[in-house]
Structure 1
């Protein structure tokens, strides 16, 4: 049994360690450089690896291949594996076979990290023996080796779901769907939507699918396709006998003939989109039979997620907000929608086929100036050049923050919400967010 792992990052190294423990002959291959800490771990575990190349003779003799989510299907080596009929799966698929723990799988274009962290917070605070993994934190496969959790809360990207065959979460959540990563889906939105719904494809009548009933892409899919899972909707506008909704500034969650109520202002998270995240997480807590008092307390003390509408500092009565995690238009829509003061907006990066028209009414209403932070800002300038009074281009974070400050008056907000990927000027969105926070502190 030969396991080949493509990609020597967190998920790849975790899978390699699990594979070795389960008796596979393991080989790790990364077309880029492998970080020193991971190389050390592979060496310590006597796992063979290569970097900056893919040696076909070492890869095409695999029994099974785990492909890291960042590697597209279009890559030559992946195509050759598929042609040879060698299974190419994700870490989630590989690791799930080796654990009896139940999993709560959470996907969506936006809100999945907040919902994942909040769900984990609810279950952990209730004393459950629960792990956190997937697209976040420590590799799921690695935890299957080292820990013995009864349940896992997993954040799942569409790329991870593309690589599943038999995996099924006991509880699945789809937070919302909006166009994202279309470059990986032949620029077909329906392919991306289908990819998200793979989360429910193996679910049975014993399992649950929690979903946003206000989301057009989700409701259309459910009208035209079947899932065997029990459906639990949540909504800001509709009411359900079974599901979650908001009425009279109160969140109500009804599941298995039991009701839970909480005033929305007592919930630590703010903004309409966060009420949805709270409804989804609370639905899980109810399914896991967590006490009402524990749910209330956890919802009221949750700290939120770094780089997601994170308040950094107030300087000369101007609030600086880090929303670096907003890597698509829909996430930035939520951010702008929650602004209550005149806003200087820092935007830009690697465009993933964005349609900025969706933001037009919010920009007209809320944005006084735009700072473009990217290598190529043409689309942003074309979209908003005539809409705002002031617009400037910069190519590093310090300049972005300094220029933003110049446009502000007392009572304004400076919002970093890029709507784009970060790879033109930064390592990743965390690096971008941390540089923003540092630049603000240096003002």
Structure 2
């Protein structure tokens, strides 16, 4: 009997354990931290051995294959020992792929991947397809494959998940864009991170499709020096394309296999240029999957967007409060600031992942009147913007951030939480940060 060790007992680890057990593996689950009660219960009920608050190395090093949580870095001592011993280490995505008979749709990118994934799922589901959604969203891919192995899944994938693939091959792959992110995991080399993102297409064949942002210079540069086998379908805001998606006369035009669909941008349920791009990518997929044009139009118009991504929370004293907690890098915040139509009090800060704040300088000068800095170490942000805005205030709780922002905002202004940083200094994750923001706004 093949032995599998699973490192990390979150959603993805527990789903993998259940699928592995079903496929006849001897399963051992180990988490260096504590395991949530609901996951402990699921493992115990399935008769799966598990441990928490540390790793029993002998047990793990004895495995034939190890599935590790995307959050565990390659530098972790247990991973180094497994590598030295030559044990195969893969991600949940790679493991589950081999038991999923229908090729998936996989979406990655520095920004926009959640919106594109959810919008794609909606277009295909509304269009009548039996479709699942997994990866970074919802229930684990492996857990769903255990119950529905024949379904097509729309997968939102991070670079960390792609680092753990070997043979995973999606029928349709999307790369929404590239901007420096998670560089601390890639030896602070942007090129390593870019290579990681492009792993999404490495196993694709001439029968598959690769959808990408034609306007992204880094993507274009990579494609000039590397060959991909999949059929390339770009999307662009600025260039008319023979095949792919582009903008013309305030319409999205998608042309493929001599068929064209035209969608007025004003009919989109979500605002901003970045969302036009997300809609182009999702519509291209819907076209490939033969969804009817009227269904695509209808679904695009009633899609309301994603929680924590430019989410309008409330107007208080004619000030609009906007939750963009999902903006954990410069590029995401760039799009948020670009979309602001009124003077803005900007709440920014957190764990810096190697940001260059000067990239935002023109937008800060044009749109931002005051900055509220929310983080344990705000040095880089202070150095960049302190002398550029009317007011610059540093705080360390969300309660203070919202109260200070309220005092700085006047009627007709907006308060934007768009941190451009990870959340782990003061919050559990970006969702926790976003929900705390919304709670404090509702308490004003």
TM-score greater than 0.5 by the shorter chain: yes
SS in 2 for 1:436: helix
**Could you tell me how far 1:148 is from its partner in structure 2?**
4.6
Aligned residue number for residue 395 of structure 1: 396
Counterparts of 2:149 and 2:177, CA distance in 1: 31
Counterparts of 1:257 and 1:248, CA distance in 2: 20
Aligned residue number for residue 332 of structure 1: 333
Is 1:361 paired with 2:362? Answer: yes
Structure 1: gaps (5+ residues): none
In the TM superposition, 1:294-313 aligns within 5 A as: 294-313=295-314
Runs of 4+, deviation exceeding 6 Å: none
Aligned residue number for residue 65 of structure 1: 66
Change beyond 3 A, Cα 1:336–1:149: farther
Is the 2:100–2:150 Cα contact (8 Å) retained in structure 1?
no
Is 1:28 paired with 2:29? Answer: yes
**Could you tell me how far 1:149 is from its partner in structure 2?**
4.9
Q: What are the Cα deviations for residues 285-327 of structure 1, in whole angstroms up to 9, with x where unaligned?
A: 0000000000000000001000000000011111000000000
**Could you tell me how far 1:255 is from its partner in structure 2?**
1.1
SS in 1 for 2:352: coil
Q: What are the Cα deviations for residues 377-403 of structure 1, in whole angstroms up to 9, with x where unaligned?
A: 111111100100101111111110010
Counterparts of 1:286 and 1:83, CA distance in 2: 46
What is the TM-score of this pair, normalised by structure 2? 0.99
Counterparts of 1:156 and 1:218, CA distance in 2: 17
Counterparts of 2:361 and 2:138, CA distance in 1: 35
Structure 2: gaps (5+ residues): none
Q: What are the Cα deviations for residues 312-355 of structure 1, in whole angstroms up to 9, with x where unaligned?
A: 00111110000000001110000000001000000011111111
**Could you tell me how far 1:150 is from its partner in structure 2?**
2.7
Aligned residue number for residue 146 of structure 1: 147
Aligned residue number for residue 266 of structure 1: 267
Aligned residue number for residue 251 of structure 2: 250
Counterparts of 2:216 and 2:156, CA distance in 1: 19
Q: What are the Cα deviations for residues 122-162 of structure 1, in whole angstroms up to 9, with x where unaligned?
A: 00101110000001111000000123553100000000000
Aligned residue number for residue 214 of structure 2: 213
SS in 2 for 1:167: coil
Aligned residue number for residue 104 of structure 1: 105
Counterparts of 2:39 and 2:281, CA distance in 1: 35
Aligned residue number for residue 429 of structure 1: 430
SS in 2 for 1:102: coil
Counterparts of 1:102 and 1:411, CA distance in 2: 49
Aligned residue number for residue 87 of structure 1: 88
Q: What are the Cα deviations for residues 222-242 of structure 1, in whole angstroms up to 9, with x where unaligned?
A: 110000000000000111111
Is the 1:129–1:149 Cα contact (8 Å) retained in structure 2?
no
Counterparts of 1:272 and 1:291, CA distance in 2: 25
Q: CA RMSD in A?
A: 0.6
